[in-house]
Amino acid sequence: MAVTVLDQAPSLAQLYAKAAVTAFGRGGGLPDTHLARHGVEVDPAHHAAYTRVCRLPLDDVLPATYPHMLTFPLQMALMSDRSFPLALPGLVHVRNRIDVLRAIRADEPLDLEVWAENFAQHRSGAAVDLRATVSAGGEEVWRSTSTYLARGAKAPEGAPEADIEVVVGDLERVAATWRIPDDAGRRYAKVSGDVNPIHLSGLTAKAFGFKRAIAHGMWVKARVLGALAGRLPDAIGLDVSFRKPLFLPSTVTLSTAQENGGWDFAVRNQKSGTEHVVGTIRPL
């Protein structure tokens, strides 16, 4: 295993451009590469901007989804490299699990590390897990698994079946209704750096086969976390499936139910009932 330590976060805009240029001719197995950053300090202004965009409370503890902001550029650097077997354009984020092992103070220096594993087959193509871990003072405090699906791709012979579904219970009670504006993708892209064209405008989304721009799945996940703020323990596991694109603008409902000491939830289109995000939150 090779660990490459970076001095600063890579530019996501440059990585998207690199991925587009190097999209063809990929293949093979997953690279045995880990990318890391050490002693990362959270910018208070960025922390505040993130909580505003995601409707999260602002205090001296990081939201459960915030470390994803720090690790995502490293994951993008892995996926945009020619050694990664799947072309980044067209990869779909289909599942994300986050474990917060303890509350993370916003002033703690953090060590980040990411890698890829679990190259799996799926009926629609091939899937891969991008893993991330965050440590403070030598102690792991946060970890995540982001599963990406490449439609039409092929996994290696004998690869396991991908598990991309999160099972939730009966969710009939509507807890909230959200009107999602057409600039939601641009606002989240500004704070996250995730400038994937499918999120920015109808024009750029159509170039990739979508009828309108779609919301970032991790933004929707953070909105759910914000809706349940004050009702969750410090150590939690948040597991979601991103099912159908949430086109912008849209009106959606959030349905919740208490289960096993935590919550099940679903974000659905108000008119059609289409499920965009379903998930579970459990104490660890």
Query: Which residue matches tokens 């002033």?
Result: 107
Superfamily of structural domain 165-284: Hotdog Thioesterase (3.10.129.10)
Outline which parts of the chain fall under CATH 3.10.129.10: 1-163, 165-284
Extended strands (E) in the chain: 2-5, 33-40, 92-100, 110-122, 125-136, 139-151, 174-180, 236-242, 250-259, 262-269, 275-283
**Which pLDDT band holds residue 25 (cuts at 50, 70, 90)?**
low
pLDDT for position 57: 95
**Which pLDDT band holds residue 11 (cuts at 50, 70, 90)?**
confident
pLDDT for position 195: 83
Give per-residue burial for 155-164: e unless 16+ CB within 10 Å, then b: beeebeebeb
Q: Kindly tell me if the per-residue pLDDT of 111 is higher than 80.
A: yes
Q: Mean pLDDT of all residues in the chain?
A: 92
For 41-62, the pLDDT digits (tens) are: 999 999 999 999 999 999 999 9
**Which pLDDT band holds residue 194 (cuts at 50, 70, 90)?**
confident
pLDDT for position 1: 74
Topology of the domain covering 1-163: Thiol Ester Dehydrase; Chain A (3.10.129)
- Can you count the helices (H) and strands (E) in the chain? 6, 11
Q: Kindly tell me if the per-residue pLDDT of 99 is higher than 90.
A: yes
State what percent of residues in the chain have pLDDT above 70.
99
Q: Kindly tell me if the per-residue pLDDT of 90 is higher than 80.
A: no
For 117-175, the pLDDT digits (tens) are: 999 999 988 999 999 999 999 999 999 999 999 988 888 888 889 999 999 988 989 99
Q: Kindly tell me if the per-residue pLDDT of 28 is higher than 90.
A: no
pLDDT for position 204: 82
Task: Give the whole-angstrom CA distance, residue 130 versus residue 91.
Answer: 12
For 211-267, the pLDDT digits (tens) are: 899 999 999 999 999 999 999 999 999 999 999 999 999 999 999 999 989 999 999
Task: Give the whole-angstrom CA distance, residue 24 versus residue 2.
Answer: 25
